[in-house]
Chain A
Amino acid sequence: MSWPGRRIDAIAIGASFGGVEALKHVLPALPAGLPVAVFVVLHLPRERESLLGEIFAPLCALRVREVMDKDAVVPGSIYFAPPSYHLLIDRGPQLALSMDDPVEFSRPSVTVLFESVAAVYAEHALGLILTGAGGDGAEGLAAIQREGGLAVVQQPASARMPNMPASALQRISADYVLTLDEIMTLFQSLPTQAQP
């Protein structure tokens, strides 16, 4: 698994059922000093979502930061969409929250995050769909690819719940379809210095 040699400034990840386990593999694989901002939407029962920071901070080399509306995005950070809000990235880049209607029955919605990431980061974005039920994220991943970013999907057969990756693959032909181990290798190989 080798890196495609383009600068990535943002990684956007969507997951639902089985997502905590999958993220415990892929997020710690991101190396310290990586100048990339990581945004995660994970569908979870409301009570559990707020604990994500506590679960992941000790496992990750990158810093898990609390999402506050209009905060400037800090490279080298991981941001989890807060419970019951959509997380969007606005020009700046800065974090933006909304309480708009659920999309694909979800708030936060992967598609909402991904579309905003596509608009701001264009070819410097990487979108990743992991295990999950439902079809949230497929449209968003298509937007990332349309704006020139990389579309990565967990191989459905290897996912705890194949529906979400499978519906992404129905919508687009992804740049990479990978197992969790391969995603980890890909992440470990990301250049830790911004390339010229």
Chain B
Amino acid sequence: MESAQDLELELLVEAIYHSYHYDFRSYARASLRRRLQVAMQRFGCTSLSQLQGRVLHESEIFGELLEYLTVQVSDMFRDPSYFLALREKVVPLLRTYPSLKIWIAGCSTGEEAYSMAILLREEGLLDRSLIYATDINPNALRRAEAGIYDVAKVPDFTSNHRRSGGRSSLSDYYSAAYDRIILDKSLRKHIVFSDHSLATDSVFAEMQLVSCRNVLIYFDRALQSRALDLFYEALCRRGFLGIGLRESLRFSSHADAFAEFVREDRIYQKTGGL
């Protein structure tokens, strides 16, 4: 039997879906519950039902609630070995395409998309590439478009970049001002940031590479399967899919159609289909 708290959570995500068209109904429960509890405190509510009342009647608080519901953490070249594997094993095959489309799904504040752009520039592929970077959080997308980051993160970014096999100096790609860095506009030209939900939207272009990292962990198995179906559909034949180091493809109905390409770094290649 469902507890009252479980039921309150179900009703709240239903309410959000019906009034704001953000679909959290298939998000993994334990972490969603925790985030909602933090939000409850922030909004001074003592129960999720009370929070539901406020969300329904005060549309201005939804934007802030969304910040609690989605998790914005990212780094440039996070998991350097993943980017090293892309560089050494995937890029040689990407070179064979006259033009490249790459999808960063769940791009958060943009670090992963810019990392990809820098990698492609270093490999001489950026000029023929278009990177689609999508997310559901409008604030994160705005920050991603600005490409401005805290200077305190630069040492980590730099060491990650070096360990990812970077051939140039990361400082070639940003200028520093006070406590911020701003990334080079010439990278930005190859990236399209846009609003897209893996829970409710569909495929929009054919891709050679999809990178969706640390997003699937927020989904339950059914929604993971939906997202993976989208990636399957979006990818060209023999296209590549990269996911987070602790994520797996098991809950995709197309799991068989992806072959392990670099096992340790969770990079797969689409095999079957037409």
Contacts and interface: CB of A to CB of B under 8 A. Distances in A.
Tell me whether A and B are bound partners.
Answer: yes
Interface of A: 67-70, 82, 85-86, 88-91, 96-101, 112, 115-116, 119-120
A69 B247 contact: yes
Given A69-B247, A70-B221, A82-B246, A100 B71 contact: yes
Contacts of A112: 34
Interface centre among A70, A89, A115, A119 (most CB of B within 10 A): A70
A90 B6 CA distance: 12
B248 A69 contact: yes
Interface centre among B30, B31, B244, B247 (most CB of A within 10 A): B30
A69 B217 contact: yes
Interface of B: 28-31, 33-35, 71, 73, 214, 216-218, 220-221, 224, 244, 246-248, 250-251
27 contacts: A67-B246, A68-B246, A68-B247, A68-B248, A69-B216, A69-B217, A70-B28, A70-B224, A70-B248, A70-B250, A70-B251, A82-B246, A85-B217, A85-B246, A88-B28, A88-B34, A96-B217, A97-B217, A99-B71, A99-B73, A99-B214, A100-B31, A100-B35, A101-B71, A101-B73, A112-B34, A120-B30
A149 B71 CA distance: 30
A41 to B, nearest CB: 14
B73 A90 contact: no
A168 to B, nearest CB: 20
A80 to B, nearest CB: 12
B191 to A, nearest CB: 22
Given A89-B30, A112-B34, A115-B34, 10 more contacts: A68-B247, A69-B216, A69-B244, A86-B31, A88-B34, A90-B28, A96-B28, A100-B31, A116-B34, A119-B30
Contacts of A69: 216-217, 244, 246-248
Contacts of A98: 28, 31, 34, 71, 217-218
A100 B34 contact: yes
Interface centre among B34, B71, B216, B224 (most CB of A within 10 A): B34
Nearest to A66: B246
Nearest to A94: B221
A69 B214 CA distance: 10
Contacts of B246: 67-69, 82, 85, 97
A23 B31 CA distance: 27
A91 B29 contact: yes
A90 B217 contact: no
Contacts of A100: 31, 34-35, 71
Contacts of A116: 30, 34
A34 to B, nearest CB: 24
Nearest to B5: A119
Contacts of B33: 119
Question: Nearest 5 CB-CB pairs, A to B?
Answer: A98-B31, A88-B30, A90-B30, A116-B30, A97-B217
A91 B251 CA distance: 16
Nearest to B215: A99
Contacts of B35: 100
Contacts of A101: 71, 73
A11 to B, nearest CB: 18
B84 to A, nearest CB: 17
A81 B71 CA distance: 19
B212 to A, nearest CB: 13
Contacts of A85: 217, 246
A74 to B, nearest CB: 15
Interface centre among B31, B224, B244, B250 (most CB of A within 10 A): B31
Contacts of B220: 70
A89 B216 CA distance: 16
A96 B34 contact: no
A101 B39 CA distance: 13
B234 to A, nearest CB: 22
Contacts of B247: 68-69
B30 A96 contact: yes
A88 B28 CA distance: 10
B243 to A, nearest CB: 10
Contacts of A120: 30
